[in-house]
Structure 1
Amino acid sequence: MEISFFTSHTNSDRVIEILQDIDHALAINQQRFFEVRGCCDARQGGKNSIAFSPSLNPDESEEKLQDCIVLTESPMTRQDTTNLYVTVDDARAVFIALLDRLTTELGLQPYTSIMSADISISPLARIHPSACLEEGVKISDGAVISAGCVIKRGTQIGCNTVIRENSVIGCDGITVYKNKNGDLMKFPHVCGVVIGENTEIGAGCVVARGILSSTRIGSNVVIGNLSNIGHGATVADDVWMSVGTLIGGHTHIGRKATIGMGSRIRDNQLVGDHASIGMGSVVVKSVDPGTSVFGNPAKRMATLTTGPKR
């Protein structure tokens, strides 16, 4: 479970006041004090947070969420609840507007709960003078941040990890939602990027920060030059990824997977452990563990060998 938490607390009275100013907020089902620590993804669960669930499953919601303010388009009828349910026309739109106002008007700064409490730059890290590091980053012993890199707030980089020239770690990804009035809204990115140890990210790469769950790159990973990792994606330990690879948001790349040059993997896919993806492939559906795929769209190739021998 991951919660994006705010650096200072607010309570339900202030949140409700903001909600009542938003056109989509129609009703508050009950009034009682809540300590709101941040926001979470309702599908993953959380506590003392703001969440949204357009199509509410009461049993699943009660199991995953505790003492939360939940925006929903389905009225909650059950009484045995620890949460405050707010019925709205467009739950996602209200959630976006609420997060935007909490982080701008109230000045609350979100950080991920899986970020180490020790926010610091190790004196044993090597930071090029031309690199730009925002406040709120953790750079561990032996890490190398090369010329022209930009490391954004909410990024954690493990020991001996190397970020090559002109890479950007922790920028926002592209997330646009069209609300029921037809207006385009940008979903706030309120989580960060967590990178493990002994990993190398090539030159000119982009790793987007997470929206409601952090983007994670494991240890002993190699990512080739000019690659892009989408928001909320996970790259597990020992993955080898060649030049120009594009990974869509919320996709999971399993341990020791090998991805050939110029491959594209769409969002919300699962690439299994020890899987191989051939050069230039376009992956539009999940890849089973230990299998090899190639082509556009990628199909299973039993004899395919990808990447260096490991």
Structure 2
Amino acid sequence: MRAARLLSVLLLLQARGRMTARQLASELEVSVRTVYRDVESLHAAGIPLYGEAGHAGGYALLDGYRTRLTGLTSQEAEALFLTGLPGPAADLGLGAVLATARLKLMAALPDDLRERANRLHQRFHLDTSGWYVDPDRTPHLGAVVGAVWEQRRVRVRYRRWAPKPEVTRTLEPYGVVLKGGRWYLVAGSCGAADEVRTYRVAEISRLRVLDERFERPTGFDLAAHWDASLREFDARRHTGEATVRLTPRALELLPHLWEPALVSAARRSARLDEPDGWLRVMIPMESVEHTGGLLLRLGAEVEVLEPEALREHVTRAVAALADMYHLH
């Protein structure tokens, strides 16, 4: 455990440059005293590490010193080869860079780790695209990524689902996210303090990178913001709850027809409804129209109990189908 921590100290200093003992302790989740002992051990091992006191002080490696990859465990080497997704890298214009990096990493590994990494590359393939949907066309992705990297504002024409279908906005791009095979831009809106929104890159119809630069909000964490926004989105869209009866077969079909959150809710709440053997379940509900559409996919193997508005919506849809097929 301590050997792994010593390597982590070395890699942190190599990747980030000068760091204080308190910063290292926070990253490694240990005490400052432990960091002092680890630094002494690295000194004793001959690592060219020096420290400076004062407000701007900290620990740093001598210029030019680099660690070797021979400190990787077999699992770490394998994990590195799973992190590079060729599809997204190509989308970002980094396909050739990723291939070159893989070759360099492979060349630097010892023979036994190189063999394990090769085996993993041959037996595991990660594909982030979704089923049954065409991939997004994202002609502006390269410009978006460039603006994110250079911290330049962008002027975009954006398509949306709203009474006014297109809007023009000036944005401060903080980062891009790949979710379910689709690219999203997380950006601040100029003139709206503390407003950070998500934009689907495929819905940007026009984009111009401006000369104006901007400063990212201090402490902004893209991954943490994305996770929080997903939780907020789920809480906002699920505005109620519906109670329905399903056949056992319908419950088995749900993973092929509904999103995971609804399937999990149905399975958790499923109770046998005597005497016909159907199951009574409760599911989160968005709008009456949206939830009604999901339930109609199950045909005659579902019955809506409440709310009444949802039951009436499904009843009207079924009646319209009966009229269409002259079943009265």
TM-score, normalised to structure 2's length? Answer: 0.25
Higher strand share: 1
> What TM-score do the two structures reach when normalised by structure 1?
0.26
Could you say which structure has the higher helix fraction? 2
Computing the radius of gyration over CA atoms, which structure comes out larger, 1 or 2? 2
